[in-house]
Amino acid sequence: MNPESFLTSSENHTAQALESLRQRFAQIPDQRQPGRTWHRLDVVLMIAVCSMLSDNGAFTEMETFARTQLPWLRTFLPLPHGVPSHDVFRNVFIMLKPATLVGILQDWCGELFGRHIAVDGKAMRGTIDPTTGKYQVHVLRAWVTALSLSAGQVTCAQKSNEIEALPRLLDTLRLKGAIVTIDAMGTQSAIAEQIHDAEAHYVLALKLNQKGAFKAVSGHFDEADLAGTPPAHHHTIETFELSHGRYERREYTVTSALDWFHKSWKWAGLKSVVRVRRWTHRGQESAELVLETHYYLTTLPADPAVLAGYIRGHWLIENQCHHVLDVTYQEDHSQVRDDDAAHNLSILREMSLHVLKRHPGKGSLRSKRKRAALDPAFRTELLASIPHTFGA
């Protein structure tokens, strides 16, 4: 293939990706007053995506980005009235319902059957209310670990917590055949029943917020340890890891024999319980191994290797999403305090993050954003990574 043909093919792919996303934005209802807007909603959102990719995430930065990149933007967007002001960006993000942008993430995720979905929450620290000391925006995400993308998001109601938001989040998902992992805040019998009724599996962390179940499960494993010889129905594997001066040994023990668990009926579809013991040494010569013990309830069979993968994989939402949003995108420094605007910006950051990760080139996420800000050709190359087959 000669270079000219390759360039044409690359340009066509970028054009398809951009047009697909623009058309998807165009499906969002525009609640602004008709006849009093100069800039189409889909155009404003397309500029916002390009700006976020290029390390310009504030409303004032979006205006500056658009003004300095106007000739480039006009290669694929109609801008008869020039560029939107920062007030236009702000008003659009206040007006827009976050569920409409989350719908695009769901389209990108496609079918959830067989996927691992890790559910966890993140407070946006820049939205703290100085009078109450509480965060005004706390986002609960359903993270598809294999895709590094949210299949759903909701915000916690004011003066509430994640327990209130979790059922609403699960209701937004097509969970059939998925495996849902949640930390101890979501270990409620009603949540287990909701997931089971959706024909999905769960792996729920068990702590003292469920005292009866915790006492029964921890007591069973303690008795087995005292007996010396593990019961035949216990299945155990061990893993070892040495990284950056940190040594970690993990022991996963699983059983599906639950005759001793007299209130197992409270947990819909329960098949197995898991104990994870973790010994950690953090590098100091004099430091001793630190032991931590965790317990889990699950509808999955008693396969310790499979369950170990889901238990460890749960924290990908922290490593791949929440940590990146804080460190690379400086999300906690954002001072946008309108609930919908702050949530919409967080979704836009995640959309940008997904596009950056799909790009096959080397370099950190931060360096790719910096380069996109300076190099329109590289920015165009990044835009080709936008998913353009919705629902696939």
- Residue 7: its pLDDT value, please? 39
**What end-to-end distance do the CA atoms of the chain give, in Å?**
29
Name the range with the highest mean pLDDT among 30-39, 148-157, 307-316. Answer: 307-316
CA–CA separation, 313 and 134 (whole Å): 30
Q: 217 and 307: one domain?
A: yes
Half-sphere exposure of 323 (CA within 13 A, CB side): 8
Q: What is the pLDDT of residues 11-37, one digit of tens each?
A: 677 888 899 999 999 999 988 888 788
Let me know if residue 321 belongs to a domain. Answer: no
Q: Kindly state whether residue 174 falls inside one of the protein's structural domains.
A: no
Least confident residue range of 171-185, 198-212, 277-291, 303-317: 277-291
Average pLDDT over residues 317-324: 94
User: Which residue, 252, 282, 313, sits at the end of a domain?
Assistant: 313
| Full residue range of the structural domain in which residue 236 is found | 196-313
Residues 6+ apart with CB under 8 A from 377: none
**Does any domain span residue 335?**
no
Q: What is the largest CA-CA distance in the chain?
A: 79
**pLDDT at position 389 over 80:** no
Antiparallel, parallel or unpaired: β 235-243 and 201-206: unpaired
Strands (E), the chain: 116-123, 138-144, 149-155, 179-182, 201-206, 235-243, 246-255, 272-281, 290-298
Asked if the structure places residue 341 within a domain, the reply is no
Q: Are residues 205 and 306 in the same domain?
A: yes
**Averaged confidence pLDDT in the chain:** 90
**Four-residue CA torsion sign, 356, 371, 332, 65:** negative
Per-residue model confidence (pLDDT) at position 136: 76
Q: Identify the residue with better confidence: 157 or 168.
A: 168
Same domain membership, residue 366 and residue 266: no
Mean pLDDT, residues 147-152 taken together: 95
Long-range contacts for 226-235 (Cβ within 8 Å, ≥24 apart)? 231/255, 231/257, 233/257, 233/302, 235/302, 235/303, 235/304
- In terms of domains, do 203 and 262 share one? yes
Q: Are residues 276 and 370 in the same domain?
A: no
Position 10 scores a pLDDT of: 63
Q: Are residues 201 and 309 in the same domain?
A: yes
- Does residue 147 fall inside a structural domain? no
**pLDDT greater than 50 at residue 5:** no
| pLDDT of 163 above 70 | yes
pLDDT at 8 (0 to 100): 52
Comparing 384 with 217, the larger pLDDT belongs to: 217
- Asked if pLDDT for residue 148 goes beyond 70, the answer is yes
Q: What is the mean pLDDT of residues 42-48?
A: 96
For residue 49, which phi and psi values (nearest 5 degrees)?
A: -65, -50
Residues 205 and 296 placed together within one structural domain of the fold: yes
Question: 373 and 270: one domain?
Answer: no
Which pLDDT does position 319 carry in this prediction?
92
What is the arithmetic mean of pLDDT over 46-63? 96
Residue 334, pLDDT above cutoff 50: yes
Contact 311, 272 (CB under 8 A): no
Say what the pLDDT of residue 161 is. Answer: 77
The answer on pLDDT for 88 being more than 60 is: yes
Q: pTM value?
A: 0.89
> Dihedral sign, CA of 199, 318, 364, 18?
positive
pLDDT at 390 over 70: no
More confident residue, 127 or 1: 127
Q: What's the whole-number mean pLDDT along residues 299-312?
A: 97
- Give yes or no for residue 9 having a pLDDT over 90: no
For 225-282, the pLDDT digits (tens) are: 998 888 999 999 999 888 767 788 999 999 999 999 999 999 999 999 999 999 988 7
pLDDT at 196: 98
Asked if 223 and 281 sit in the same domain, the reply is: yes
Average pLDDT rounded to a whole number, residues 162-178: 94
Single-letter amino acid code for the residue at 321: C
User: Is 117 among the domain residues?
Assistant: no
Confidence of residue 137 (pLDDT cuts 50, 70, 90): confident
* Structural domain count of the chain: 2
> Both 87 and 31 in a single domain?
yes
- Establish if 299 belongs to a structural domain: yes
Residue 134's pLDDT is 64
Q: State whether 228 and 303 are in the same domain.
A: yes
The per-residue pLDDT for range 359-388, each reduced to its tens digit, is: 988 889 999 999 999 999 999 999 988 986
* Final residue before a domain boundary, out of 282, 313, 344: 313
pLDDT at 6: 39
Span 35-56, average pLDDT: 94
Report the percentage of the chain scoring pLDDT > 70.
Answer: 91
Residue 47 and residue 24 in contact, taking contact as beta carbons nearer than 8 Å: no
208 assigned to some structural domain: yes
State the virtual CA torsion across 59, 60, 63, 65 in degrees, nearest 10: -100
- The answer to whether the CB of 306 falls within 8 A of the CB of 272 is no
